[in-house]
Every structure is written in C-alpha cells, then in structure tokens.
Chain A
Amino acid sequence: MKRLALIGTVAVGAWFSVGAIGDATQTRADERHADRRTEVVVHVEGRRYRQPLDVAAAALYSACTATVDGRIVEPGIVDLGGGDYSFAITPSLGRHGRERLLGCLRDLTVERVRSHVVSVEERALG
C-alpha cells in the first residue's frame, strides 16, 4: 500500500512537472492588444565584433524577431547611446511572446555579441 502511494505521488509529480516544463518551453496563445506596443531596450556589446554596434543590434533584432508575430514600430531600431538600443513591436506582446523574445535577446544568438535586456515596457501606440 505504501509502495502504491509512493508510485502515485511520483506519477502525479511527474505529470505536473512535465506540464510546467511544457508551459514554460512551448509556444502558447497570448492575449495581445493591437492598440498598444511593447518597447524593449537592450544593451549590446561586441567581443571582437568587426562591425559597428548598429549592425550588431540590427542582426540581433533580425534574429530574435522571428520568435514573435507583429511588426516593428517607426522609427525602428533607435540608438540610445552607450550601447543601448530600443525598438517597439505592435501588437503588444503577451507573457509567452515576451519570454520568447527576451530569451532570444539574452541568449548568445549572434556570434561575438553579448546583450542583455535593460527594460521592457508596454505603452499605448501612437
């Protein structure tokens, strides 16, 4: 009996663990607002990157924007100085889309480029 209870506990724990990992790593439907935008500020550093940082920022955006739907808001990628760049996407990103995009931006996506997200804010479009 005790053994059966142990097996049941382990099975239930495995079930919820697999579900939690699936929710965290799989693409889920998000609630998005077409009248809002998600503005991201990312800091970019080059390690023996032999092009200007503007190119690195553009490459990073190009690689990571494939993880979410939507379009970039004018004026596009803005150089804030000091290696910081901002861009905005509309419709606004939901929780899962935001995690995918920020994970890609934090990851070592572009060779010889390190980056980290400075801020993520949701604002009204316009």
Chain B
Amino acid sequence: MNGRRIAFLAAVVTTAASGYYFFVYLTRWEWNRALTSGVIMLAAEVALFGGLALDRIGRLRTTLAGAAVADRPAGAPGRRDRVLARLEESRPRPRDHFAWLAPHRTNVFVPVLLGAGVVVSAVAWVVERVARATAGRQMERGLALRLEALAPPDALVAAEADPFSLFAPVRTGAS
C-alpha cells in the first residue's frame, strides 16, 4: 500500500466520520461542535476531490504520452519534433537594420555620401585656413633652427656671398 492510497483512505475516513458526527451533533443540538465537524468534512472533501482530480489528470497525461509514442511509426519524427518544426517554419525573418547600406541600394547611400563629403570639405577648409594663419611663421622658425647647422662657417664665406640667397625664391613682380 503506497502513500497515495493511504492518503486517499485517510481522506475518505475523515470525510465519512466528520459527516457522521456533523449530523450527530446536529441532533444533539450542539451547534458549535456541528460547525467544527462540518468544516472538517468540507476540508476533507476538498482534499479528496483535489487528490482524485490530480490523479485523473496524471493518468490522462500518461495515457496521452503513451498513445503518442505508440502511434508514431518507426523513424518518424515525434510530436515534439513536429511542433518544433512548425514553430521554426513560422519564425519571423531576422530584420536587417542596415539594409540601406546594401550594395544594390544606392538611393540612400549616395546622398549620405555626398553630404558627408560636403561636411568633410568644409571642415578641411576651416582647418587649412586656421593652419595658414597660425602655423606659417612657427614652422619657418623651426626650419631655420634645423638648417642653421648646415650653414658654412662665416670665415669661409664672404659676408656678401650668402649661399642661402641661391635658394631664396624669386618673387615675380616684386619691386
């Protein structure tokens, strides 16, 4: 006798005994005791019904599982596999968040590229302007500092013959 059967028998005995004493106390005019017995009977009934319902559900589940296995031909996919395949069929396609960057779609990419070119050109123009205004003299000073070591000694060269004058740019139109 397993535990489930013992619990079932206990619930049946409790229901029967409490129901019997419910009427006994009623006929004795002992209302408080009758109420207590009634509550115990109801609780035992609920437990009994719940146990029977759960037991029946468990049996149905076992029966259905067994029938599904028995109906399946050898090598055929099981019920779970079929459900899984159906779910995979109905799965939505993954969304391509950068479809507008696809090579065959230039209607969006070209304007963006042109716009980016304009912006980058504007930034470059500003940078060039700032560099021309600020970095010219500083760069020339640094260059003179480095070329100073290449200059011939003053004792070898006449003061009027400045070798660097050969590299001086000829400015046309200068007076």
Contacts and interface: CB of A to CB of B under 8 A. Distances in A.
B27 A107 contact: no
B28 interface: yes
Interface in A65-109: 67, 99-100, 102-104, 106-109
A24 interface: yes
Contacts of A24: 26-27
Interface string B128-171: 00000000000000000000000000000000000000000000
A103 B26 CA distance: 9
Contacts, number: 29
> Size range of the interface on A?
10 to 19
Q: Is the interface of A mostly helix, strand, loop or mixed?
A: helix
A67 B31 CA distance: 12
B28 A103 contact: yes
A1 to B, nearest CB: 32
Nearest to B23: A21
A21 B31 CA distance: 14
A106 B30 contact: yes
Interface of A: 21, 24-25, 67, 99-100, 102-104, 106-109
Interface of B: 23, 26-33
22 contacts: A24-B26, A24-B27, A25-B26, A25-B27, A25-B29, A67-B29, A99-B28, A99-B29, A100-B29, A103-B28, A103-B29, A103-B30, A104-B29, A104-B30, A106-B28, A107-B29, A107-B31, A107-B32, A107-B33, A108-B32, A108-B33, A109-B32
